[in-house]
Chain A
Amino acid sequence: MTNLFLALAAEGEELVEFGQGGQLHEWAWLILVAPFIAYILILAYGKKLKYEGGEIAVAMMAFVFGYGLLLWLDTIRNHTVFEKAIEIGRIGDGMVLEWGWVVDGLSSMMYFVVGTVGLLVFIYALGYMKGERRNTFFYASFSLFAGAMLVLVASANLAQLIVGWELVGVASYLLIGHYWEDKANSSAGMKAFFTNKVADVGLIIGALALSVSVGSFRIKDILDVATHHGDALGAPFFGSSVAVAGALLLFFGAMGKSAQFPLHIWLPDAMAGPTPVSALMHAATMVTAGIYLMARMFPLYQEMATAARPIMIAVGAATLFLTGLIALVQDDIKKVLAYSTVSQLGYMMVAIAAGGYTAAVFHLFTHAFFKALLFLGAGSVIHGVHSNNMSDMGGLRKYMPRTFWTFIIGSGALAGIIPLAGFFSKDEILGTLDYGGYTAVLWIAIAGAFVTAFYMTRAVALTFFGEYKGHGHPHESEGLMTVPLMVLAFFSVVAGFVNMPGFKFGESIVLRYTGFTEWLATRDFSPLGDHHPESLEWSLALYGTIAAVGGIALGWMFFGKDAATQQERDTVSIPVLYPLLRAKYYLDDIALALVGAIKGPVARFVDWTNTYVFDTIVNSFGFAAGRLGKFVYNVADQGVIDGVFNGSAGVASAAGGWLRKIQTGKIQQYAGALVVGAVALVVGFVLFNN
């Protein structure tokens, strides 16, 4: 693919450009190509290197980080919108398949997030994966994972987006099932892949419906039609318009990747992969893809597909609250974080469905940092304790101070403690919901904030406070792991300020920072649902803070205060609710039952057709082929071909047998033959020369 890309770029024909940009933007395709080059290099040379290929991966991510930072800073400063595409094929008369890259507020922010989080996670992985199995393949797949996300983010058209989307799925499958010796791990990989595949059907049909209706895969063209309420998307389609149906199908696709209820079931199982994979997957490269798609297609949802938004809000609200509750009863620290991710993705979905484009993207931005921090912190703990279960931990703040303090910062950011990053983004979402008049959802979101604070307090208390209950001696992780934690902790503190109400540098400083909203929404639409006040709205911030502090207080009351009752303190047993949560709302069982119910008849039907239809066809073909084969064997093979070979061999053998008789070894017989020959020659000359 890389070679194709370079060749096309070098050829430079059929280029479509849009917007304005300099050399920096012209060469932005390098960050799409770099991970794939790294992938090949790691597979080719990785085994010989000290970190088994990790060096190449880190170098590549450093490049992506640097380039992404430059692009992002340029976007902040100049509000650039740049699109470039290379035609690689045509379907029918009009539909053009293109490969291209977009640099605008949304995508350059994603480049920056993927680059930053990716680089830190890759460095962390150097320490975490030391001495593990198949590291070369791991780093290669990891690079592929990051590269796939960059392809997805950079795509200017839906066809390329699907390619990136599926590549992300494949890479995640490889990484989740990395320790495939354990059956559960490879099953988790398959579960992730298949759940995503179910949703991908929605994405593909939706993308095709929208693209074919508009006559172009280009997102810009589709959104142009959407913002002008064009007839192409207004056409009736199964009782609604193409726009609504397409938007809902795309949303279904996003439900899979972004783990919305009830398709979230793959994400907690995806914890089977190595912890760096979980961190990257939850922060930057996989679950954000669905939210990114929604944000990218936002004008469609705002203008023409408004009918889809109530459904999205309902799904998002259910996700944020219900999965937050499950996080309360998990013992595996990574699963607590996994359900927390699902819950936060619910926040983003609710925000975007309520029209809060900026709020959703802002939460994606801050969440990437503190969730990566929490996962890497959990990985550090697991590395030190050699167990995923919080019942084996406790009291670790004494043994792992750096991990402890960074984890506290991450938890605070996630719970929404002022002034950490999560506070501002969650407040923005609450503000959007309030502004849009979604009062019921607003209260669910506040309750969700309460639950978030509650389970994070539980996780911190069980992990870092009380007495150590595991085996062996826990130890602080090495610098390769703790330094990324500190950097991410820094980002978790400051990331919120980029969109703090009233935060403007104006023209006076180099950055010319004019606020998150201005550089993010550089396209020619304005998110109507956005609500970004000039200064903090203290009433809402107060509700959010009360929920967070209340959750922490309650959590501390249940799990932190009484360090003496060690064994019994890891959960609160509420009848009915507790078994329901432990069983994760029986969703896995429902899915299995559903699959089983469908599987039986389908399997029987397939079996019947197999036996009676296909077998007959196959058997008659087989019979005919058998007869033909026998005929060919007897006549052509045995008769003609073997005859020729055996005959010639026989002739040679007979000739040899006859000729060997004259080789007597007696020199005088040879001499006699010589004389006879000479006399014959002389006689011949004499007779015929006259």
Chain B
Amino acid sequence: MTLGPVLVLAALLFSMGVYGVLARRNAVTVLLAVELMLNAVNINLVAFQSALQTSQGVGQIFAIFVITVAAAEVGIGLAIVLLIFRNRRSANLDDFATMKG
């Protein structure tokens, strides 16, 4: 199995994630986009691990860590979004500019 197509797939996924984070206004969609980016990274990790014989499964272990952290991150992220929505009746990120200098 060649490494190239897998890396292209990962790059596409990551780019979609970046686009989603930067362009979408809905906080939940932004979180979904973040997940896309994380999973793109996971694909990279697993792909490189299978390509390099000496890595002894480090890539997969790292991917599992990232999945765990991503789950936690989404949990906290969704909780924050939920609280903001309760207070502001809105999930539009443009409305949350209270940190403006």
Tell whether A pairs with B: yes
Q: B-contacting residues of A (Cβ < 8 Å)?
A: 659-668, 671-672, 675
Decide: A660 near B101, CB < 8 A? Known: A667-B96, A668-B93: yes
Contact B93 A665 (CB under 8 A): no
Most chain A CB inside 10 Å of its own CB: which residue of B94, B98, B101:
B101
Contact B18 A675 (CB under 8 A): yes
Closest Cβ–Cβ distance, residue B17 to chain A (whole Å): 10
Report which of A659, A664, A668, A671 forms a contact with B100, defined as CB distance below 8 A: A664
Considering only CB atoms, which chain A residue lies closest to B27 in the complex? A667
Contact A666 B18 (CB under 8 A): no
Q: What CA separation (Å) do A665 and B22 show in the bound complex?
A: 14
Closest Cβ–Cβ distance, residue A660 to chain B (whole Å): 4
* Interface positions of B from 19 to 51, Cβ below 8 Å from A: 21-23, 30
Report which of B18, B23, B30, B98 forms a contact with A665, defined as CB distance below 8 A: B98
Most chain B CB inside 10 Å of its own CB: which residue of A661, A664, A667:
A667
Q: What CA separation (Å) do A665 and B94 show in the bound complex?
A: 9
Q: What CA separation (Å) do A94 and B86 show in the bound complex?
A: 99
Contact B22 A666 (CB under 8 A): no
Contact B99 A663 (CB under 8 A): yes
Q: What CA separation (Å) do A433 and B88 show in the bound complex?
A: 118
Q: What CA separation (Å) do A666 and B21 show in the bound complex?
A: 12
Some 18 contacts from A to B, beta carbons below 8 A apart, are A660-B101, A662-B101, A663-B100, A663-B101, A664-B97, A664-B100, A664-B101, A665-B96, A665-B97, A665-B99, A665-B100, A666-B100, A667-B96, A668-B23, A668-B93, A671-B22, A675-B18, A675-B21
Contact A666 B94 (CB under 8 A): yes
Report which of B22, B98, B99 forms a contact with A668, defined as CB distance below 8 A: B22
Q: What CA separation (Å) do A663 and B99 show in the bound complex?
A: 7
**7 pairs of A and B residues whose beta carbons are closest in the complex:** A663-B101, A665-B100, A665-B97, A660-B101, A665-B99, A672-B22, A666-B97
Q: What CA separation (Å) do A671 and B93 show in the bound complex?
A: 12
Considering only CB atoms, which chain B residue lies closest to A660 in the complex? B101
Task: Given A662-B101, A663-B101, output 17 extra A-B contacts at Cβ < 8 Å.
Answer: A659-B101, A660-B101, A661-B101, A663-B99, A663-B100, A664-B97, A664-B101, A665-B97, A665-B99, A666-B93, A668-B22, A668-B30, A671-B21, A671-B22, A672-B22, A675-B18, A675-B21
Considering only CB atoms, which chain B residue lies closest to A662 in the complex? B101
Contact B21 A668 (CB under 8 A): yes
Q: What CA separation (Å) do A663 and B101 show in the bound complex?
A: 5
Contact-residue size bin, chain B (C-beta under 8 Å from the other chain): 10 to 19
Contact partners of A672 in chain B: CB under 8 A: 22
Contact A675 B22 (CB under 8 A): yes
Q: Type the 1/0 row for B81-101, where 1 means its CB is closer than 8 Å to any CB of A.
A: 000000000000110111111
Contact partners of B22 in chain A: CB under 8 A: 668, 671-672, 675
Q: What CA separation (Å) do A664 and B98 show in the bound complex?
A: 9
* Interface positions of B from 57 to 101, Cβ below 8 Å from A: 93-94, 96-101
Most chain B CB inside 10 Å of its own CB: which residue of A664, A665, A672, A675:
A665
Contact partners of B101 in chain A: CB under 8 A: 659-665
Contact partners of B30 in chain A: CB under 8 A: 668
Q: What CA separation (Å) do A675 and B19 show in the bound complex?
A: 10
Considering only CB atoms, which chain B residue lies closest to A657 in the complex? B101
Contact partners of B98 in chain A: CB under 8 A: 665
Contact partners of B23 in chain A: CB under 8 A: 668
Q: What CA separation (Å) do A470 and B93 show in the bound complex?
A: 100
Closest Cβ–Cβ distance, residue A293 to chain B (whole Å): 86
Contact partners of A659 in chain B: CB under 8 A: 101
Contact partners of A667 in chain B: CB under 8 A: 93, 96
Contact partners of A675 in chain B: CB under 8 A: 18, 21-22
Considering only CB atoms, which chain A residue lies closest to B18 in the complex? A675
Closest Cβ–Cβ distance, residue A686 to chain B (whole Å): 14
Q: What CA separation (Å) do A663 and B82 show in the bound complex?
A: 25
Contact partners of A671 in chain B: CB under 8 A: 21-22
Q: What CA separation (Å) do A671 and B98 show in the bound complex?
A: 16
Q: What CA separation (Å) do A667 and B100 show in the bound complex?
A: 10
Most chain A CB inside 10 Å of its own CB: which residue of B30, B96, B99:
B99
Closest Cβ–Cβ distance, residue B46 to chain A (whole Å): 21
Closest Cβ–Cβ distance, residue B33 to chain A (whole Å): 10
Contact partners of A660 in chain B: CB under 8 A: 101
Contact partners of A663 in chain B: CB under 8 A: 99-101
Q: What CA separation (Å) do A583 and B21 show in the bound complex?
A: 112
Q: What CA separation (Å) do A668 and B18 show in the bound complex?
A: 10
Contact partners of A665 in chain B: CB under 8 A: 96-101
Contact partners of B96 in chain A: CB under 8 A: 665, 667
Contact partners of A664 in chain B: CB under 8 A: 97, 100-101
Closest Cβ–Cβ distance, residue A648 to chain B (whole Å): 21
Q: What CA separation (Å) do A70 and B42 show in the bound complex?
A: 104
Q: What CA separation (Å) do A667 and B24 show in the bound complex?
A: 12
Considering only CB atoms, which chain B residue lies closest to A663 in the complex? B101
Q: What CA separation (Å) do A489 and B21 show in the bound complex?
A: 110
Considering only CB atoms, which chain B residue lies closest to A675 in the complex? B18
Contact partners of A668 in chain B: CB under 8 A: 21-23, 30, 93
Closest Cβ–Cβ distance, residue B41 to chain A (whole Å): 13
Closest Cβ–Cβ distance, residue A682 to chain B (whole Å): 12
Closest Cβ–Cβ distance, residue B44 to chain A (whole Å): 14
Contact partners of A661 in chain B: CB under 8 A: 101
Q: What CA separation (Å) do A626 and B22 show in the bound complex?
A: 67
Closest Cβ–Cβ distance, residue B32 to chain A (whole Å): 14
Closest Cβ–Cβ distance, residue A613 to chain B (whole Å): 68
Q: What CA separation (Å) do A291 and B57 show in the bound complex?
A: 113
Considering only CB atoms, which chain A residue lies closest to B96 in the complex? A667
Considering only CB atoms, which chain A residue lies closest to B99 in the complex? A665
Q: What CA separation (Å) do A624 and B11 show in the bound complex?
A: 81
Q: What CA separation (Å) do A675 and B21 show in the bound complex?
A: 10
Considering only CB atoms, which chain A residue lies closest to B21 in the complex? A671
Contact partners of B18 in chain A: CB under 8 A: 675
Most chain A CB inside 10 Å of its own CB: which residue of B23, B96, B97:
B97
Closest Cβ–Cβ distance, residue B55 to chain A (whole Å): 22
Closest Cβ–Cβ distance, residue A73 to chain B (whole Å): 92
Considering only CB atoms, which chain B residue lies closest to A670 in the complex? B99
Considering only CB atoms, which chain A residue lies closest to B101 in the complex? A663
Q: What CA separation (Å) do A659 and B23 show in the bound complex?
A: 24
Most chain B CB inside 10 Å of its own CB: which residue of A661, A662, A664, A668:
A668
Q: What CA separation (Å) do A661 and B101 show in the bound complex?
A: 7
Q: What CA separation (Å) do A661 and B100 show in the bound complex?
A: 8
Contact partners of A666 in chain B: CB under 8 A: 93-94, 97, 100
Contact partners of B100 in chain A: CB under 8 A: 663-666
